[in-house]
Structure 1
């Protein structure tokens, strides 16, 4: 795909636009949360029977205690919708595209497990959803949301909050790592066990170029470049991207499906630090 892109930029751009019809966020289709709100676990029975040898588009199975801040956002039927991260005992950060249009009572937050199917995992109910007021204005921008829980999360060795990267210190080529329960192939079923993969941070300018000069990437985004065969896929939206110090630097937004060598795009938490803090403190800003 990359060779074709270098030879004929115009043809590559056309192909990219066609692929966007099945991006992590479906362009022109339902948002990830809405798309899965009525799905049942029985629809992924084969996944439930599979063991931890599964792989998410070139990723590896995460150790059980390696992502204590990650959560699985699920519907009331126990079906995984998106990822998220604990930033406070009562607050979860995720992608706005995961929860926009949903009622709080239809979202359950599952913590302390790398197995989203587990019947023994601890779960919490959501009492309010705070979507950024400029979500998708323009398209693919401000894709961030906060969930307030009806009860405080009980921290332990498998469950705790993650520190936000509030200063933008990312350097070109820096190694960043993401995790999620997304499918191993475009439109495939979700993995049962948490998967992780690492890639290189690329600048906004380079990311735009790699994605065909799109305006869908700006300073509010972090781009992660992985080799073809590795990358985020459906179900990874809303999941955390961390730096080498274990700080949250991004929240999964969108990308070209799946692992075709294009950068994956995340909301930059440092860019939204003020919005996050003011929302948690009961204030609102754009």
Structure 2
């Protein structure tokens, strides 16, 4: 496994690359690789989504079935105002879409955030209020794939 030199869990650099000794079987449960994002900015309101096994409430148990969330990229001003540690260069800030206003929770870290074309734009990192409430409507922060794209190229040659 390779860790990005600037790794900072639950902060800016939540990236890890693993090389498998053999390909994973495509059995209906395994995703094929997504296109990696090269764009440094994402439009406000962009529809995105992710799937994970995280709990549905703080202190809960991991789910046995993957759940999906529909979200939208939030305005930079909203994220900076609510989250002083937010850095748009390295992070993507999203919020659940109406009517449910889904949020991530404990155990969703590492989930991929994809746009409507299947492009991987982020990796789940942390939630507003440190996932203590896992409340619907909380801002969710993803590590921005484009900020690590050059490192990924250097390591993988792709």
Please give the range of the TM-score, normalised by the shorter of the 2 chains. Answer: 0.7 to 0.9
Write the distance in 1 (CA, Å) between the matches of 2:154 and 2:101: 39
Give CA deviations for 1:84-120 in whole Å, capped at 9, x if unaligned. xxxxxxxxxxxxxxxxxxxxxxxxxxxxxxxxxxxxx
1:147-226 matched pairs, under 5 angstroms:
147-155=18-26, 158-159=29-30, 160-168=32-40, 170-211=42-83, 214-226=84-96
Question: Higher relative CO (CA 8 A, sep ≥ 6), structure 1 or 2?
Answer: 2
What is the aligned counterpart of 2:102 among 230, 245, 261?
230
- Unmatched 5+ residue regions in structure 2? none
Q: Work out the number of aligned pairs and report it.
A: 150
Q: 2:111 — aligned with what?
A: 239
1:155 Cα offset (Å): 4.0
**Pair 1:274 & 2:146 matched:** no
Give CA deviations for 1:207-251 in whole Å, capped at 9, x if unaligned. 12122xx12434110111126762100110000111011111110
1:169 Cα offset (Å): 5.1
Write the distance in 2 (CA, Å) between the matches of 1:204 and 1:271: 16
TM-score by length of 1: 0.48
Which of the two has higher C-alpha Rg?
1
- How well do the aligned residues superpose, as a CA RMSD in angstroms? 2.2
1:158 Cα offset (Å): 4.9
**Pair 1:259 & 2:131 matched:** no
1:264 Cα offset (Å): 0.2
1:151 Cα offset (Å): 1.8
Write the distance in 2 (CA, Å) between the matches of 1:238 and 1:220: 15
Q: Is the 8 A contact 2:40 2:89 kept in 1?
A: no
TM-score by length of 2: 0.84
Structure 1 stretches of 4+ with a deviation exceeding 3 A read 154-159
